[in-house]
Amino acid sequence: MRSLVLPLIGLVVACSSEGSTQKQEKVTEPEQRKLAGVYPEKFECGTLTTPEAIATVLGATKVNLMSSAMSPPRGLPAPCNYEVVMQSTVEYWTYDIDCRDNYKTTADALFAQYKRTSADLVEQYNAAADAGIKPTDAGIEIKAPTEASEVEVGAKALDHHGQGLLFIDDDAPCYVRVIGPDAPRRLELAKAVAKSLTFGNAPMTPRPFK
């Protein structure tokens, strides 16, 4: 009789253990996949460039992040606007990012537009120069515009109109526009943004990592 009871006890324990394991397996939830991207309306400029970092890049004594008075179009983050304090002057710099699904089409159109309008300005200036260019009523000398030129940052880049730089990033699915008063520092700021901008932190609708 005792020998019969022991196998039965072992069978009950085994079944109980198996049932417990099954319950644990049912309770365990699947691991959530990490998504890339930050919703544009939640994007913060400081995740890419801090005022201190920009001061170093631009050779400024101080940089202040300025809030934007205008709301950006749907799907775009607010532009990053900065007051840049130099030794004897104050400059204003900005950059904006577009990571919408049609970013490449938009960027290609902007490349063509900026090349064309930059060339038009140079042509108009040269025509005016032949007639003799005079300072404005305020006595300000009119500077000669510069033609658009390709520069090396990201996957493709263009410095244009003597005040802007457009580039398509080589990591994140975005294009970036940088605006500032001189070409060498525009390029350096663009490089700083490109270095910090990734597929993981881009201001776009979150999506699975590739």
Structure confidence at residue 68 (pLDDT): 81
CB atoms within 10 A of CB 153: 25
Are 102 and 115 contacting, i.e. CB atoms less than 8 angstroms apart? no
pTM for the model? 0.80
Confidence of residue 187 (pLDDT cuts 50, 70, 90): very high
CB atoms within 10 A of CB 11: 10
Give Cβ neighbours of residue 162 (< 8 Å, ≥ 6 apart): 143, 145, 146, 183
Digit-coded pLDDT (tens) for 76-129 = 999 999 999 999 999 999 999 999 999 999 999 999 999 999 999 988 888 877
Mean pLDDT value across residues 45-70: 95
Rounded alpha-carbon distances, angstroms, from residue 196 to 67, 68, 140, 172, 202: 21, 22, 38, 10, 9
**Please, what are the domains in the chain?**
35-131+144-208 (3.40.1000)
Mean pLDDT value across residues 130-140: 61
Structure confidence at residue 41 (pLDDT): 95
CB atoms within 10 A of CB 77: 22
163 half-sphere exposure, CB direction, 13 A CA radius = 11
Could you report how far apart the first and last alpha carbons of the chain are, in Å?
Answer: 65
195-204 burial: b if 16+ Cβ within 10 Å, else e: eebebebbbb
d(CA 40, CA 203) in angstroms, rounded, equals: 5
Mean pLDDT value across residues 50-68: 96
